[in-house]
Structure 1
Amino acid sequence: MSVVEEARISLLVAEENRNEEIGSTSVLKQQTGGWKASSIILCTFIELCQCAALAGITKNLVVYLKTELLEDNVVAATHASTWTGTCFLTTLIGAYLSDSYWGNYSTICGFWIIYLSGLVILTTSASLSIMKHSAFFTFLGLYMISLGAGSIKPCLSTFGADQFDNTDRRAKAAFFSWYFLSVRVAALFASTVIVWIQENYGWTIGFSIPTLLAGIAFMVLMAGSRYYRYRKPNGSPFTRLCQVIVAASKKHNLSLPENNSLLYQAKGKSTITPDDEGFEHTPEFSFLNKAAIVSSSDFSCSGAVNPWRLCTMSQVEELKSILKLLPIWVTFILFSSVCSQESSVFVEQAMVMDRSFGSFKIPPASLSSFSVLAIVVFAPIYDKKIVPVACRFTKTEGGLSHLQRAGIGLLISILAISTAAIVETKRLQIARDEDLIHQNVPVPMSIFWQIPQHVIIGIGEVFTQIGMLDFFYDQAPDSMRSLSMALALLTISLGSYVTSFILTIVNQITGWIPENLNDGHLDRFFWLVAGLCLFNLVMFVYCASRYRYKKK
């Protein structure tokens, strides 16, 4: 580590300590945090991070793998989906380090360096002839990008929401809406401008632009450091959760007291967060409450508590909160699988359609820009039109609950994938009519027939993705916000892996997705996914109806 970097970290630690000491004063609140700080974070995310860098790689990756590494349809789609999944799987790494040791800001800065390094390697592998067709350097760069970008994701969104007081729920909800919208506006730029540059000017320039913009983003993020509020890490959340399980198991033969006030609860400086002393005692998973039963064997000779034998009720409720989220969390995975089709199977479908628009050749990956446009247009409509109408009926702030909003999006995802199946059925019919079944060539059907499926996915994301992010942030314990956001983003990872798994298994069993899609049955694959989404919606409704929101 350089002297400059050590000095920067030292200054950061000093700043965190200073914020912690006077964080409750109105002077500090006026000088840091709020929309001033969150706007810098949003701006960084829009212009550079996910916009031009990650989205610029993701949108056209399947085309790069097919044209440069000469992979077939299933292998290219599988590799693209698996890589996208890894980008979100690594969110757990960033969340763990942020909550446990480094805090959000330091974690973001550290992994951004890895992120930039991966972009440089990928760009270099695309430009140098000796490395151009090397799968090793290509995937080395890609997976360094996935490690860096994935670890940044939960920290950046949590860091932005942390700029507001816990009592300012309206501002936090507005932040998540703007955050999600900014990511999609960024993706619009990536799926149009950057994809077009990659198609027309080559991959070297096409990858250089994301690398340059990600570097500028890093400088913008650090330039705003004096405006941010910093939350100190509270120790490893995984350790605290494991302590509850171990302590409860050791006391499985003890009976719970009738009065919950007799259960152990830390006071004052021993609490994990300032809100812990008022943690609501919930009836679910009552077995875990045994971890807070006080016994003589819980203390050493000096009177110190053995944390693996006695846990506070705050710790117990932390674990309960995470366990209650898991059934809902599982149902979001298939929605993410549908969304991942946009950068994999939908692109391959577009490659065998007529991409002409006058003399202009439309890049197959650019059609995903319509889902982004749908989000940009529909998100304000939702906030300005739908929410006020819903408020009059539900009499609640926000109109729809987080889970109601997410459930509508799950329903819309079924419509999206069904639309893709109908379009593919029509495309295959044209291929048969034109006697193109045995020719791996585009059929005379305009690529613009894909617009409805992309638009419907975009509308579904306005409901499900924003509702999911706000739900996980709102229902998580204060000390586990980054971990909870990582769980939310992990659904995107698992959704991509599910897509890869289904593609591989279905093609091995049925052969529906051959190299020549004109001789395949991609429509049946879409209908299969639609059926799985319908079953998933039923499970979501069941789990959501049994979920009990935590009290404010």
Structure 2
Amino acid sequence: MSYRFDAGGSNGTQTNSDNEDFGDTSFESQPLLNAPEDHRRTRPRTPAMTKETDLEEARPKQTARITGRRLFTVCSILVTELCERLTYYSVVANMVLFCTDKLKISSDSASVITLVFSGTVMCIPVVGGIIADSFAGKYNTILGAGLIYILGLFLLPASAIDYRKWFGGDEDMSLGTRKTYFFVGLVFVAIGTGGIKANVGPFGAEQIKDLGPDAVQSFFNWFYWFINAGAVVAYSGVAYVQQEVGFDYGFLIPLLSMLLAIVIFMIAKQKYIHQPTDGSIVAQSCGVCCQSINKCKNPSWRNALKENGGSYDHPMVEGVKAVLKVLPVFGIVIIYWAVYSQMSTSLFLQSERMDITVNGAKLPAAILNIFNTLIILVMIPIMDRIVYPTLAKYGKSPTHLQRMGIGIFLVALSMVYAGIIEIIRKKDMENHGFISQELSGSTFNASKISMFAQVPEFALIGGSEVFASISGLEFAYTQAPEFMQGLIMGLFLMTSGIGSYVASLIVTIVQSWRTSESSDWFPEEANDGHMEYMLFLLAVLSLLSLVAFIFVAKWYKYKQPHFEGETVVLPPPYENQSYESYDTKVSAALGKKQWPPEFDETSRL
């Protein structure tokens, strides 16, 4: 990046070039400012650009069109993610049912197992991100994690098959052995999917990031679209096979899907753009923090800089600052993910106890997740091609955090609706009786109300993902320096994992309040307690987190995106005006704390 003062002639040009990222105090990618009045006599007048919207409009227009090699590599990554997500959702779609029917585990314990597994899957990406950023690189980390993934997927069908049917023996596998295969398989699956999730999104964005922020935003929109395309297949076709044909065949499908994902990913190896690694990110980050506070009387980030006796350069220090800046945002989003995880637990238990037939044909209870994914598949193209471009045209583009706030509000509404449906469902059973229905060998007393009454629950959660999850991925990518993208993406995904743990903790807490089975907020048998109370509790927690999120978002300062090959051109100061005074005006116009672009001395811990 370069910047220069233009005094109207070649003799007045002063140039300084560097490649450092100064975070809030950098002067990257800023457009031409309005020249002083006296200077306008010798050069054409340019529009005044003192507002953020003007600055955004003045940036060089970069095409978001992806063609040729880029299109091939991006499509390879997107299809790989589709297959991987089909695999993952095939594993979790009927996990509660598999645990209760095949492993003879109670429904509340099965829900906890599902939540803990989902939480672990989302916490491991932090490790995957660190490995990729530090030494392995994103491509190698994704490939290695995929191979571990496949190892676990071999164990899942082994835990489900009937050995007498498959091998003609006289004895079947013992329940203890079946559980061992299943849980060990889940460990490998968690490691594999965690290593992939932290890196596949940033790796795809790296292929097109030089096309500008619009291309990056579009990539993440379609990245999420492919994720949910895989989920549709898992929750409809694969879930049906598991429930009506058998888990042995139902677990073979995700194994084949993941094998296909690895093959597709490797095909484009020679065409990918690979970013170099930058050593141990965690060790360097800890070193920056320690050196920044080693002077108790004057703690400052400057203490870690090489020119002040520290060991680190500007980009590393600013990278650590970027991580710490996003942590409050990530922390609040945890509640969102705790509510989101209810689709595979409490909402699934609710589905099992509603009429799952249509004209006599039995549908898988997990099929309702399709409405979560369908709303996403429909909304993403609309938002990407119509809504966001239209808002941008009128200068009303919502920020990442504004979009995430909308998502949190929608997920709160979904829990309110789910609680109301639970009340209506049980009241219907009291007034009009119930039906008995069998799912994979287990029998449930169910309401005569169709399970499709739950569609708004899943649709609202799907709509919330379009705003909260996609924007969160884009936020994590854009606010991270290149050498920390895996780490920050892993931290964002970790919020989902912690959210699942929090949901499990909430189940444990509300169960401790019980005085009888009928007073339990999350009973072993959903017909006997008051699960609606827990759903309403989750809605309240979501609204409280939204209030906290608005407060944090109000004070958050975004990192300015960097556009490669751009030159910053500044006019000279007014006649007889000091550069110190002019610096203040430039800083105010650009919304910066300081100019020239040197390290911010006022930055404190």
- The verdict on a shared fold, with TM-score over 0.5 as the criterion, is yes
1:454 corresponds to 2:458:
yes
1:40 corresponds to 2:76:
yes
Match of 1:50 among 85, 101, 111: 85
User: What CA distance in whole angstroms lies between the structure 2 residues aligned with 1:65 and 1:450?
Assistant: 23
CA displacement at 1:225 relative to structure 2: 0.7
Q: Name the stretch that deviates more: 341-350 or 383-392.
A: 383-392
Q: Name the stretch that deviates more: 184-193 or 59-68.
A: 59-68
Identity %: 31
User: What CA distance in whole angstroms lies between the structure 1 residues aligned with 2:245 and 2:175?
Assistant: 16
1:130 corresponds to 2:199:
no
SS of 1:353's equivalent in the other structure is coil
Q: Deviations over 1:368-399 (max 9, x none)?
A: 11110111111112223322342244x16xx2
Task: Quote the residue 2:266 is aligned against.
Answer: 222
Name the Cα RMSD after superposition: 2.1
Q: Specify whether residues 211 and 293 from structure 1 end up closer, same or farther in structure 2 by C-alpha distance, changes over 3 A only.
A: closer
Does the CA-based 8 Å contact 1:353-1:446 persist in structure 2? yes
Q: Deviations over 1:295-329 (max 9, x none)?
A: 6xx5xxxxxxxxxx432232221111111101111
> Which AA in structure 2 matches 1:430?
D
How do 1:52-67 and structure 2 match up within 5 A?
53-67=87-101
CA displacement at 1:207 relative to structure 2: 0.2
Q: Deviations over 1:101-160 (max 9, x none)?
A: 110111111111110000001111111431566322210001110011111111111111
> Which AA in structure 2 matches 1:63?
L
Match of 1:532 among 524, 536, 541: 541
Q: Specify whether residues 520 and 184 from structure 1 end up closer, same or farther in structure 2 by C-alpha distance, changes over 3 A only.
A: same
Task: Quote the residue 1:17 is aligned against.
Answer: none
Kindly name which structure, 1 or 2, has the bigger radius of gyration based on alpha carbons.
Answer: 2
Task: Quote the residue 2:471 is aligned against.
Answer: 467
Task: Quote the residue 1:239 is aligned against.
Answer: 283
Does the CA-based 8 Å contact 1:288-1:316 persist in structure 2? yes
SS of 1:332's equivalent in the other structure is helix
User: What CA distance in whole angstroms lies between the structure 1 residues aligned with 2:246 and 2:503?
Assistant: 28
User: What CA distance in whole angstroms lies between the structure 2 residues aligned with 1:31 and 1:100?
Assistant: 31
User: What CA distance in whole angstroms lies between the structure 2 residues aligned with 1:153 and 1:251?
Assistant: 39
1:141 corresponds to 2:150:
no
User: What CA distance in whole angstroms lies between the structure 2 residues aligned with 1:33 and 1:352?
Assistant: 51
User: What CA distance in whole angstroms lies between the structure 1 residues aligned with 2:359 and 2:248?
Assistant: 27
Does the CA-based 8 Å contact 1:180-1:466 persist in structure 2? yes
User: What CA distance in whole angstroms lies between the structure 2 residues aligned with 1:545 and 1:131?
Assistant: 57
Task: Quote the residue 2:317 is aligned against.
Answer: 316
SS of 1:441's equivalent in the other structure is strand
Match of 2:105 among 71, 82, 103: 71
Does the CA-based 8 Å contact 1:120-1:211 persist in structure 2? yes
Q: Deviations over 1:487-536 (max 9, x none)?
A: 11111111111111111111221322222211210111100000000100
1:199 corresponds to 2:250:
no
Does the CA-based 8 Å contact 2:159-2:179 persist in structure 1? no
Q: Specify whether residues 165 and 445 from structure 1 end up closer, same or farther in structure 2 by C-alpha distance, changes over 3 A only.
A: closer
Does the CA-based 8 Å contact 2:222-2:380 persist in structure 1? no
Task: Quote the residue 2:303 is aligned against.
Answer: 290
CA displacement at 1:456 relative to structure 2: 0.8
Q: Specify whether residues 402 and 421 from structure 1 end up closer, same or farther in structure 2 by C-alpha distance, changes over 3 A only.
A: same
Match of 1:503 among 487, 504, 507: 507
User: What CA distance in whole angstroms lies between the structure 2 residues aligned with 1:411 and 1:96?
Assistant: 32
Does the CA-based 8 Å contact 1:371-1:457 persist in structure 2? yes
> Which AA in structure 1 matches 2:221?
S
Task: Quote the residue 1:120 is aligned against.
Answer: 154
Task: Quote the residue 1:354 is aligned against.
Answer: 355
Unaligned residue ranges in structure 2 (runs of 5+): 1-65, 164-171, 436-442, 515-519, 562-605
CA displacement at 1:436 relative to structure 2: 6.4
> Which AA in structure 1 matches 2:494?
L
SS of 2:449's equivalent in the other structure is strand
User: What CA distance in whole angstroms lies between the structure 1 residues aligned with 2:233 and 2:191?
Assistant: 23
Task: Quote the residue 1:260 is aligned against.
Answer: none
> Which AA in structure 1 matches 2:131?
L
Match of 2:143 among 85, 88, 109: 109
User: What CA distance in whole angstroms lies between the structure 2 residues aligned with 1:227 and 1:310?
Assistant: 36
User: What CA distance in whole angstroms lies between the structure 1 residues aligned with 2:67 and 2:527?
Assistant: 62
User: What CA distance in whole angstroms lies between the structure 2 residues aligned with 1:192 and 1:99?
Assistant: 37
CA displacement at 1:404 relative to structure 2: 1.1
Unaligned residue ranges in structure 1 (runs of 5+): 1-29, 256-285, 299-308
SS of 1:250's equivalent in the other structure is coil
How do 1:344-493 and structure 2 match up within 5 A?
344-393=345-394, 395=395, 399-434=397-432, 441-493=445-497
Does the CA-based 8 Å contact 1:88-1:150 persist in structure 2? yes
1:89 corresponds to 2:123:
yes
Q: Deviations over 1:394-451 (max 9, x none)?
A: x16xx211111111111111111111111111112112224669x9611211111111
Q: Specify whether residues 171 and 388 from structure 1 end up closer, same or farther in structure 2 by C-alpha distance, changes over 3 A only.
A: closer
Task: Quote the residue 1:10 is aligned against.
Answer: none
How do 1:259-298 and structure 2 match up within 5 A?
287-292=300-305, 294=307, 298=309
CA displacement at 1:478 relative to structure 2: 1.3
Task: Quote the residue 2:222 is aligned against.
Answer: 178
User: What CA distance in whole angstroms lies between the structure 1 residues aligned with 2:188 and 2:330?
Assistant: 27
TM-score normalised by length of structure 2: 0.76
Q: Name the stretch that deviates more: 125-134 or 420-429.
A: 125-134
Does the CA-based 8 Å contact 1:252-1:290 persist in structure 2? no
Does the CA-based 8 Å contact 2:407-2:465 persist in structure 1? yes
CA displacement at 1:40 relative to structure 2: 0.7
> Which AA in structure 2 matches 1:59?
A
Does the CA-based 8 Å contact 1:45-1:183 persist in structure 2? yes
Task: Quote the residue 1:12 is aligned against.
Answer: none
Q: Deviations over 1:276-300 (max 9, x none)?
A: xxxxxxxxxx7222222746xx5xx
TM-score normalised by length of structure 1: 0.83
Task: Quote the residue 1:160 is aligned against.
Answer: 204
